[in-house]
A and B are shown apart, each in its own frame.
Chain A
């Protein structure tokens, strides 16, 4: 091709492509960072969006907008009526559901929108709010904006503490998996500057049916996550110790086929963080290990009993059975078969270190 042709082609490409798609300039859009849904009575749902307004040399200002609607999908449009710039969902970090809404109406219809939207990442955090979502979002937490605070709070608790791995993908995974039901962490606003992670909510058909406290969360995590960590307090007669589990693994085994029995081997490797007694001798360590093991056994059994009573299966025992038994029919799993399942927990606790003090 002659050079004239080349220039012509390049010029025309540049010309044509310019007008092809809509532009979105960062300063002229409202980037939603979190969205919260509340129950508004009579089948109505109200939605609140949170977006930051960035200012020079200052923490971002948290701005919220709220609208009420009967059809859940139209909440965003209704909010749009109050916003000066188009609302964009691309950098959403957290979605919050008020507990009342999650118990009465369910969350599935609302989650569908996030699953469908190609702009929303699967790493999005979902959480239930003990109280009103709007109220929680109106606070002022930390210097990086509320949404970042919430997502960092959850992330930190997953990485270092007791909260089992959770996000949109995890929720959808357990929702769609046959023989498993989903769960979400629960947040509570304590004051205008504080939020607390105070438990885990279990869902059945998209509605909250049961909540466990943050103390039980540690044991739930041992059951549900392949690898977990966290901190737990153990009492023995000489004193009390805080044992941090460094690396815990679990292993499922279908030990009996009929009636079904699953043996869960939980291996905990921990260190002693704090001890109120006088000395940590091998003897005390042994005692701690045993006491911890007993507690794991007892608490996990309690959790399993809760699951059976509520006919939920957040751990996915049903799916596990299906992978070990050919052509296993899971259609009656939650209603009847789960009840007849025996779960045997076999803990194996090793305490490796007790800090720098002997």
Chain B
């Protein structure tokens, strides 16, 4: 049942922090403020905290499952449902991670097209981008983790740049607190799902962690830090925009940068967006790696063969999305799937795992 990974391919437990945080922090952050404020208004920062707490609970559930079977997601499914059903679920997860990769790349290309170069072709950019991604994945999971590390450390200064909005911030906008009903706020939390998802990739890379018990606190710390970043950004955004103006902006995070004026660079967004490439590169790499890793577990095909094939599928899918509407539909879809997967399916799976464990124990006992 358990999966053995050679010691030299494993990562230190504290690196889990970077992988988990990286998967959460990516594309969603560019526009989540508007989506959560749609229902929860400017009480939406409470929604973020609630969503964060929910993620902590689910993360706990994931660790519990993984510890029970001492393997990865496929082992859990085999343990609970048997071999054939686990293969079907595996296929679904391959698709899910492919979809995630496509969303990340396509959303980024859209931003470049709208903000910088209108005539950038999706295909060529995705091709180059995916070549880099494939190259990273060829280096193994350790290289992917390394990229995640740099994807956080190098562009970290970006967060400080939002403080440029402070002279225009009216924190009164947030008052009165709790002006919305609890159900509205919870709906806001649900709309956070696209932004917080990604931490479930733990289910796939768990066997690659060296001292798995120690990694727990790092994973939780990662979730906590992303939640804090989201709250920080949401509060700054809500203070900067009146509610009606926020609803007009598709990427409030980028619009906030428009206020930055520096003598040596007229429009800061250009630097920021170019930098965002570094932020999403590890995201796409981890997602695609997960996809190919599941394929390997299911069919025992080498990742070296599956990765280029999967990347090619991504390339075609990315190039086939043309309009804002389609891109929006895709991210909504991923958000929905992520929501039901993380907050319904995985807790249920935990219950099933625990029952299966009991039953199997009894069988052995009798």
Contacts and interface: CB of A to CB of B under 8 A. Distances in A.
Contacts, number: 78
A4 interface: no
A55 interface: no
Chain B, interface size: which category? 20 to 34
B125 interface: yes
Interface in A264-322: 319-320
Contacts of B240: 169
A9 B135 CA distance: 11
B266 interface: yes
A193 B129 CA distance: 54
A289 to B, nearest CB: 29
B172 A320 contact: yes
Given A22-B119, A323-B172, A324-B175, A16 B124 contact: yes
B182 to A, nearest CB: 15
B244 A176 contact: yes
Q: Which of A13, A17, A169, A180 counts the most chain B CB atoms within 10 A?
A: A169
B176 A324 contact: yes
A175 B248 CA distance: 13
B261 A17 contact: no
A357 interface: no
Given A123-B259, A324-B175, A118 B114 contact: yes
B267 A90 contact: yes
B258 interface: yes
Contacts of B173: 323
A325 B176 contact: yes
A121 B259 contact: yes
Contacts of B131: 9, 13
A91 B262 CA distance: 12
B117 interface: yes
A160 B78 CA distance: 72
Interface string B252-294: 0001001101000011010000000000000000000000000
A173 B117 contact: no
Interface in A1-16: 9, 13, 16
Contacts of A22: 117, 119
Contacts of A115: 248
A119 B119 contact: no
Nearest to B172: A323
Interface string A100-132: 000000000000000100111111000000000
B267 A119 contact: yes
B108 to A, nearest CB: 15
Contact of A123 (B114, B245, B261): B261
A3 to B, nearest CB: 15
A173 B168 contact: yes
Contacts of A237: none
B337 interface: no
B165 to A, nearest CB: 9
A118 B172 contact: no
A323 B173 CA distance: 7
A176 B266 contact: no
B241 interface: yes
A107 B170 CA distance: 25
A90 B117 contact: no
A213 interface: no
A327 interface: yes
Given A17-B128, A91-B266, A319 B172 contact: yes
B115 A118 contact: yes
B120 interface: yes
A332 interface: no
Contacts of B127: 16
A61 interface: no
A173 B176 contact: no
Given A22-B119, A326-B179, A170 B244 contact: no
Contacts of B269: 118
5 contacts: A13-B128, A123-B258, A323-B175, A324-B175, A325-B176
A-B pairs with lowest CB-CB distance, top 9: A176-B245, A323-B175, A177-B242, A21-B117, A122-B258, A176-B244, A176-B242, A118-B115, A122-B259
Interface of B: 114-117, 119-121, 124-125, 127-128, 131, 167-168, 170, 172-173, 175-176, 179, 240-245, 248, 255, 258-259, 261, 266-267, 269
Given A324-B175, A326-B176, 9 more contacts: A16-B127, A16-B128, A20-B124, A123-B261, A169-B168, A173-B168, A178-B244, A320-B172, A326-B179
